[in-house]
C-alpha cells in the first residue's frame, strides 16, 4: 500500500517542503513505512516564522479580543473531540501507543483548549497604589510574539496541546515542530485550526530533523520564545542557542523519578502504582517511575508482587483492545533500551524479569522490549542514574525516611515522585523533602489541565498546564501616566 501523505500548514494553506522531499514515518508495530511528511529545511522554517510574525503584528489575530480568542480555542477543543478516533488511530500507527490509551487521551486533550479558552479573557493587569502624587500607574500583560513549539516523539498531541492552548490564549502566534519520528498526528491536528476559525498564519507547522530545522527555528531573531519538550542534552543546546538572542524558554526535559514504597503502605495499591509508573506507554514517558524505592522490611514482598504482576502484561498490536504493552516508538530507542539492559547486567543488577526482546512470532516484526525488572540495584549504578525511556524498572532498597529522601534526591533530575504510605504525617513531610515538580501520594501519573507540571533541577524550566502556564507566554508592561498639569523643573531635585 502507498504510504499516506501528511502536509504542513503555513499561512492557512497546506504545503509540502520547498525542495519537495519527504520523510518516511515508520509504524513501530510493523517496522514498515506507513506515511510520509514533508522534509523541510531552513528555508521552510524561515517562511513559517515570517508568516507567524506577520500574523502577530497585523491582521485579525493582532486586533482580536481575548474573548473571541477564547471562543476559537473552545471551538478547536470541540473539533478535536469530534475527530478523536481519527487522531488517536494516526498516533497509534505513528508512535505505537495503545489505542486504549490514545482514545482516553484524545477525549481529555480538548479540556486544555476549553480551560485556556476560558482563561483567555481573564488575563488581567493591575492598577498600582502609587507611592507618588498625581501619577496613575498600571500594568498590562501582553503576549511575547512568535512562539516555536518543539515536541518529542513519545506523546506528540498531548505535549503540543500543553503548549498551544496557553500560548494562543495569551495572544501569541506559533510555529510547531514535531519530532521527525512522529509528525503525522500533529499535521492532522493542524488541519482543524482553519475550521475552528483561526486566522491564517496564527498556527503553522514545519517538519523535519531537529538538527536541520529545529536549530534554525530556535536561532531565528523573529522568534520570542521556544517551548521545548525533549531530552535534557537537546534542551541544553536549545537553551544555549536561545540565550544568544535573549529568548524566553520553557524546557520540559527528562526524569529519573523515584516511586517510594514505605512498609506502612497498602502494598497491593503500591504494586499497581509501580506497574503503571513504569510500563504505561512502554516506559516512554518523562514521568516514568523508573526507580522503585522499597523499604527493606517489605522489599521481598513488594519485589515479588511487582514481578508477578508485570509477568501478566499482554504485549501485542497497539490497535487491539486486549494489548497492555506496545512496542518502543523508534528503532534507535529500542537499541538504546537494550544497551541499558546489558549495562545493568554487567553492573551486577539482578534481572528478575524480562531482559530482552520477546520471541512470539507476532512480536518480532515490531520494536518490542520485554517488561524488564532489576532487583538489588544501587543508586550509583548507571541504570539508576540515567534516563532509559523504556520498560525497565530498577528496584532499590532503603532503610528509613532519611535514606529514602537521600536516594530519591540523589539524581540530576527532579520531574516527579511517588510516595506510598498510610501515614499522613509521613506523606506531607516526604512531599516537602522531595525535590521534584510533581509529587503524587498513593497514586502515580495523574496530570490535569489545571495542575502545573514541570521540572526541578535538570528536568527543566517553567511550567505547563494550570494558570502558571499562561504566565509563561506573557510579559508585563508597566504604564505611567502623569496627572500633573505641569512637568517640574528637572534641575530642581524633589
351 catalytic? Reply is: no
* Segment 403 to 422, residues that bind ligand NAD, using CB under 6 A: 415
> Is residue 156 involved in binding ligand NAD (CB under 6 A)?
no
Q: How far apart are CA 468 and CA 471, in angstroms?
A: 5
Complex with ligand NAD: residue 279 or 389, whichever CB lies closer: 389
Q: Cell triple for residue 275?
A: 506497574
> Is residue 331 involved in binding ligand NAD (CB under 6 A)?
no
Q: Which of 50, 180, 252, 472 is catalytic?
A: 252
Q: Could you say which of 179, 257, 282, 372 contacts ligand NAD (CB under 6 A)? A: 179
Contact 433, 275 (CB under 8 A): no
DSSP 8-state symbol, 464: B
Distance in Å, CB of 455 to ligand NAD, minimum: 6
* Segment 198 to 227, residues that bind ligand NAD, using CB under 6 A: 210-211, 214-215, 218
Q: Cell triple for residue 198?
A: 483561526
Among 214, 293, 222, CA closest to 51? 222
> Is residue 91 involved in binding ligand NAD (CB under 6 A)?
no
Distance in Å, CB of 319 to ligand NAD, minimum: 23
Q: Cell triple for residue 317?
A: 498490536
Q: Cell triple for residue 438?
A: 510533581
Q: Could you say which of 56, 113, 115, 153 contacts ligand NAD (CB under 6 A)? A: 153
The H or E element containing residue 439 is: strand 438-441
Q: Could you say which of 17, 25, 154, 259 contacts ligand NAD (CB under 6 A)? A: 154
Q: How far apart are CA 184 and CA 8, in angstroms?
A: 10
Distance in Å, CB of 333 to ligand NAD, minimum: 7
Residue 146 in 3-state DSSP? strand
Q: How far apart are CA 157 and CA 155, in angstroms?
A: 6
> Is residue 25 involved in binding ligand NAD (CB under 6 A)?
no
DSSP 8-state symbol, 487: P
Distance in Å, CB of 219 to ligand NAD, minimum: 9
Q: Which of 286, 370, 387, 464 is catalytic?
A: 286
Q: How far apart are CA 20 and CA 445, in angstroms?
A: 41
From residue 350 to residue 389, the character string flagging contacts with ligand NAD as x (rule: CB under 6 A) and all else as - is: -------------------------------------x-x
286 catalytic? Reply is: yes
* Residues 6 or more apart whose Cβ sits within 8 Å of residue 169: 66, 69, 70, 73, 116, 117, 119, 120, 123, 470, 473
> Is residue 253 involved in binding ligand NAD (CB under 6 A)?
yes
Q: List contacts with ligand NAD (CB under 6 A).
A: 150-155, 159, 177, 179-180, 210-211, 214-215, 218, 229-231, 234, 237-238, 252-255, 286, 387, 389, 415, 455, 460
As annotated, the active-site residues are 252, 286
Amino acid at each position: 500500500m502507498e504510504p499516506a501523505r501528511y502536509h504542513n500548514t503555513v499561512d492557512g494553506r497546506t504545503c509540502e517542503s520547498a525542495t519537495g522531499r519527504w520523510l518516511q514515518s515508520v509504524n513501530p508495530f510493523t517496522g514498515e513505512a506507513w506515511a510520509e511528511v514533508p522534509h523541510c529545511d531552513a528555508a521552510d522554517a524561515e517562511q513559517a516564522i515570517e508568516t507567524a510574525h506577520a500574523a502577530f503584528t497585523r491582521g485579525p489575530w493582532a486586533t482580536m479580543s481575548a474573548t473571541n480568542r477564547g471562543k476559537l480555542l473552545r471551538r478547536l477543543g470541540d473539533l478535536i473531540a469530534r475527530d478523536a478516533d481519527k487522531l488517536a488511530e494516526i498516533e497509534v500507527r505513528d508512535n505505537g501507543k495503545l489505542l486504549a490509551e490514545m482514545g482516553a487521551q484524545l477525549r481529555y486533550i480538548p479540556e486544555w483548549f476549553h480551560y485556556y479558552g476560558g482563561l483567555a479573557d481573564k488575563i488581567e493587569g493591575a492598577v498600582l497604589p502609587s507611592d507618588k502624587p498625581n501619577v496613575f500607574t498600571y500594568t498590562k500583560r501582553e503576549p511575547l510574539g512568535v512562539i516555536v513549539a518543539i515536541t518529542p516523539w513519545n506523546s506528540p498531541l498531548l505535549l503540543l496541546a500543553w503548549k498551544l492552548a496557553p500560548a494562543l490564549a495569551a495572544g501569541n502566534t506559533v510555529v510547531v515542530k514535531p519530532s521527525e519520528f512522529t509528525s503525522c498526528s500533529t499535521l492532522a491536528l493542524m488541519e482543524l485550526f482553519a475550521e475552528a476559525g483561526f486566522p491564517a498564519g496564527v498556527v503553522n507547522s514545519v517538519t523535519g530533523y531537529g538538527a536541520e530545522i529545529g536549530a534554525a527555528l530556535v536561532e531565528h531573531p523573529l522568534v520570542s520564545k521556544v517551548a521545548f519538550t525533549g531530552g535534557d542534552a537537546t534542551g541544553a543546546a536549545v537553551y544555549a542557542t536561545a540565550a544568544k538572542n535573549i529568548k524566553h524558554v520553557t524546557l520540559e526535559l527528562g526524569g529519573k523519578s523515584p516511586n517510594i514504597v514505605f512498609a506502612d503502605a497498602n502494598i497491593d495499591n503500591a504494586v499497581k502504582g509501580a506497574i503503571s509508573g513504569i510500563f504505561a506507554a512502554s516506559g516512554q514517558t518523562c514521568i516514568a517511575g523508573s526507580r522503585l524505592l522499597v523499604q527493606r522490611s517489605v522489599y521481598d514482598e513488594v519485589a515479588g508482587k511487582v514481578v508477578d504482576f508485570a509477568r501478566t502484561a499482554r504485549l501485542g498490536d497497539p490497535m487491539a483492545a486486549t494489548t497492555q504493552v506496545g512496542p518502543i516508538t523508534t528503532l534507535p530507542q529500542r537499541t538504546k533500551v537494550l544497551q541499558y539492559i546489558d549495562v545493568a547486567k554487567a553492573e551486577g543488577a539482578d534481572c528478575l524479569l524480562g531482559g530482552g526482546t520477546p520471541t512470539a512470532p507476532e512480536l518480532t516484526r515490531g520494536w518490542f522490549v520485554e517488561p524488564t525488572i532489576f532487583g538489588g540495584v544501587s543508586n550509583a549504578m548507571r541504570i539508576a542514574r540515567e534516563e532509559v525511556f523504556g520498560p525497565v524498572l530498577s528496584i532499590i532498597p532503603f532503610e528509613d525516611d532519611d535514606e529514602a529522601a537521600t536516594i530519591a534526591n540523589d539524581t540530576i533530575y527532579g520531574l516527579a515522585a511517588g510516595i506510598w504510605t498510610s501515614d499522613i504525617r509521613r506523606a506531607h513531610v516526604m512531599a516537602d523533602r522531595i525535590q521534584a515538580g510533581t509529587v503524587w501520594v498513593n497514586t502515580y501519573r495523574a496530570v490535569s489541565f489545571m495542575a502545573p507540571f514541570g521540572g526541578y533541577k535538570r528536568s527543566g524550566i517553567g511550567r505547563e498546564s494550570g494558570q502558571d502556564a499562561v504566565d509563561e507566554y506573557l510579559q508585563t508592561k508597566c504604564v505611567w501616566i502623569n496627572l500633573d498639569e505641569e512637568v517640574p523643573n528637572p534641575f530642581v531635585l524633589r
